[in-house]
């Protein structure tokens, strides 16, 4: 009986540990924390501006707000201590009809930003896997 | 064939921007002209076209092993990331020029579901390759039956953006239903076995970065002729994709027993233009 209780307690503790390790901030730290992420987003915005096929989506964008929300979002996605105060991915992209090509063009802009910021391939891939998972909420909405 | 190639380059020259898929996601062109690895057709379609676009590719490949050499070239088109049509020509000859074989391959592939990168399940496609070999008299003399035949295959391909060691990986498995002897160059079916066989083909690739991939491939082969044993094929490849318009692949290949000669291994080089 005690053995069973002890085992269930152990299971609870183990699963709690797992939850904690899932929320680890190693990616956030690898991206250089708040300072590193701000730098990445600055280059990212510049790269979007250089990407002819998507720049029209940003014609009416308030760039200061966009920058702030992007930094918050990247911070949160990478496990950093931030609150994202921007819009959810699905509603914000509704009516924009972003194509697969445009999504990939933005992804490429992010890849170039990470490269320019000196982020290693392994760290870049960890972040890209997270970004890729949002695609369904972004394209053809 | 020349006309098709000129049409292809005309098409490329008159288009301004390439397709919108991510670099590396269309694979290269396999030896029978379908998008894939070097030996194995994948579920990917030719070129970088997304569901709103068209894609195309052209390739030239050469293989040289101990006593034989082979070359192949062709073009492939894809429409809206759904269907691929391809045409290829293969030439095979012994170094002493006593054996010369060739065939044309028409390929058709339909992507059934999935996206190589973005869905959790693999991209899956169904394909066929119609092959028409020349030199029926030679095929008959080695115990081969027909000079044309059709292969059918089901391919599942998946890429992981953040795979083991935080690198991008691609894994493909193809199940082929074929009675082609040495791709069909030695005819279809034979005295030993004159039926289609289920054959397993697989490729594994690791992206070192966005522009370099290395990996291995394996292709199971039928063994239909009693006079000429046929072995499974293997390779170890490295592909360089400097940009989305061009790729070059080099490989070490092991073709086993070929044309009655043992241990035929050597080198493979393939160039690809992509749109």
> How buried is residue A48: exposed, middle or buried, by Cβ count under 10 Å (0-12/13-18/19+)?
buried
Which of A110, A114, A123, A132 has the most B C-beta neighbours within 10 Å, making it the best mutation to test the interface with B?
Answer: A132
Contacts of B52 in chain A (CB under 8 A): 99-101
- Calpha distance A30→B237 (Å, rounded): 32
Residue of B nearest to A100 (CA): B50
Contacts of B160 in chain A (CB under 8 A): 129
Q: Please list, in sequence order, all residues whose beta carbon lies within 8 angstroms of the beta carbon of residue B113, skipping any fewer than 6 positions away.
A: B121, B123, B124
B27: nearest Cα among B167, B267, B207: B207
Domains held by chain A: number = 1
Per-residue pLDDT tens over the stretch A32-60: 999 999 999 999 999 999 999 999 999 99
Residue B200 has a pLDDT of 98
Question: A122 and B19 in contact by Cβ < 8 A?
Answer: no
Contacts of A105 in chain B (CB under 8 A): 20
Q: Could you say which of B50, B209, B210 has the minimum Cβ distance to residue A100?
A: B50
Residue range B228-234: mean pLDDT, rounded: 96
Residues lower than pLDDT 50 in chain A: 20
DSSP track, B150-202: EEEEEEEEEEETT-GGG-EEEEEEEEEEE-BSGGGTT-EEESS--S-EEEEEE
Question: B22 and A126 in contact by Cβ < 8 A?
Answer: no
Interface of A with B (CB under 8 A): 53, 99-102, 104-105, 107-108, 111, 121-123, 125-126, 128-129, 132, 135-136
Query: Is-contact B92 B11, C-beta < 8 A?
Result: no
Question: A104 and B167 in contact by Cβ < 8 A?
Answer: no
Q: Over pLDDT 90: what percentage of chain B?
A: 87
Min Cα distance B240 → chain A (Å) is 17
Q: Could you say which of B52, B162, B167 has the minimum Cβ distance to residue A100?
A: B52
Give the pLDDT band of residue B18 (cuts 50, 70, 90): confident
* The two three-digit tokens of residue B65, written as one number: 């092993």
Phi/psi for B83 (5° steps) reads -135, 145
- Calpha distance B273→B247 (Å, rounded): 7
Which of B17, B166, B210 has the most A C-beta neighbours within 10 Å, making it the best mutation to test the interface with A?
Answer: B166
> How buried is residue B207: exposed, middle or buried, by Cβ count under 10 Å (0-12/13-18/19+)?
buried
Query: Is-contact B55 B45, C-beta < 8 A?
Result: yes
CATH of the domain at A63: 1.10.490.10
Domain that holds residue A79: 25-138
Query: Is-contact B185 B141, C-beta < 8 A?
Result: no
Question: Is residue A43 assigned to a domain?
Answer: yes
Average pLDDT over all residues of chain B? 93
Per-residue pLDDT tens over the stretch B94-133: 999 888 999 999 999 999 999 999 999 999 999 999 999 9
Strand partners, A18: none
B54 touches chain A (CB under 8 A): no
Q: What is the CATH number of domain B2-274?
A: 2.40.160.40
Residue B11 has a pLDDT of 57
Query: Is-contact A31 A74, C-beta < 8 A?
Result: yes
Domain chopping of chain B, boundaries: 2-274
Per-residue pLDDT tens over the stretch B132-191: 998 888 899 999 989 999 999 999 999 999 999 999 999 999 999 999 999 999 999 999
Question: B51 and A100 in contact by Cβ < 8 A?
Answer: yes
Q: Could you say which of B50, B161, B166 has the minimum Cβ distance to residue A132?
A: B161
Q: What is the ipTM for the molecules in this complex?
A: 0.87
Helix (H) or strand (E) holding B224: none
């Amino acid at each position: 009986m005690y053995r069973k209780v002890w085992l269930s307690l152990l299971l609870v503790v183990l699963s709690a540990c797992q939850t904690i390790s899932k929320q680890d901030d190693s990616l956030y730290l690898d991206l250089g924390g708040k300072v590193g992420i701000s730098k990445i987003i600055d280059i990212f915005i510049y790269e979007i501006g250089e990407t002819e096929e998507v720049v029209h989506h940003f014609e009416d964008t308030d760039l200061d707000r966009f920058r702030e929300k992007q930094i918050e979002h990247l911070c949160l996605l990478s496990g950093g201590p931030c609150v994202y105060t921007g819009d959810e991915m699905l509603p914000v992209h509704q009516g924009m009809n972003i194509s697969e090509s445009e999504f990939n063009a933005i992804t490429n802009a992010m890849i170039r930003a990470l490269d320019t910021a000196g982020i290693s391939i392994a760290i870049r891939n960890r972040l890209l896997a997270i970004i890729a998972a949002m695609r369904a909420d972004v394209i053809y909405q | 064939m020349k006309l098709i190639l000129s049409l292809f380059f005309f098409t490329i020259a008159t288009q301004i921007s390439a397709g919108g898929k991510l670099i590396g996601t269309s694979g290269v062109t396999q030896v029978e002209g379908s998008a894939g690895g070097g030996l194995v057709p994948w579920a990917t379609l030719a070129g970088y076209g997304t569901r709103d676009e068209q894609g195309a590719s052209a390739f030239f490949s050469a293989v040289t092993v101990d006593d034989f050499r082979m070359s192949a070239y062709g073009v492939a088109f894809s429409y809206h990331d759904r269907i691929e049509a391809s045409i290829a020509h293969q030439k095979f000859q012994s170094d002493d020029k006593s054996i010369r074989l060739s065939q044309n391959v028409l390929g058709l592939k339909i992507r059934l579901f999935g996206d190589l990168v973005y869905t959790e399940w693999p991209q899956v496609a169904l394909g066929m390759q119609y092959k028409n070999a020349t030199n029926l008299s030679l095929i008959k003399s080695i115990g081969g039956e027909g000079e044309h035949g059709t292969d059918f295959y089901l391919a599942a391909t998946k890429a992981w953006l953040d795979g083991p060691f935080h690198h991008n990986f691609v894994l493909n498995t193809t199940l082929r239903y074929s009675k082609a002897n040495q791709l069909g160059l030695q005819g279809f079916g034979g005295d030993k076995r004159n039926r289609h066989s289920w054959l397993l083909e697989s490729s594994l690739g690791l992206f070192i970065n966005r522009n370099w991939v290395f990996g291995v491939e394996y292709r199971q082969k039928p063994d239909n002729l009693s006079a000429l044993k046929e072995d499974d094929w293997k390779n170890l490849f490295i592909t360089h994709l400097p940009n989305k318009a061009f790729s070059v692949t080099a490989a070490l290949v092991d073709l086993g027993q070929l044309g009655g000669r043992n241990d035929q291994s050597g080198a493979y080089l393939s160039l690809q233009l992509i749109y």
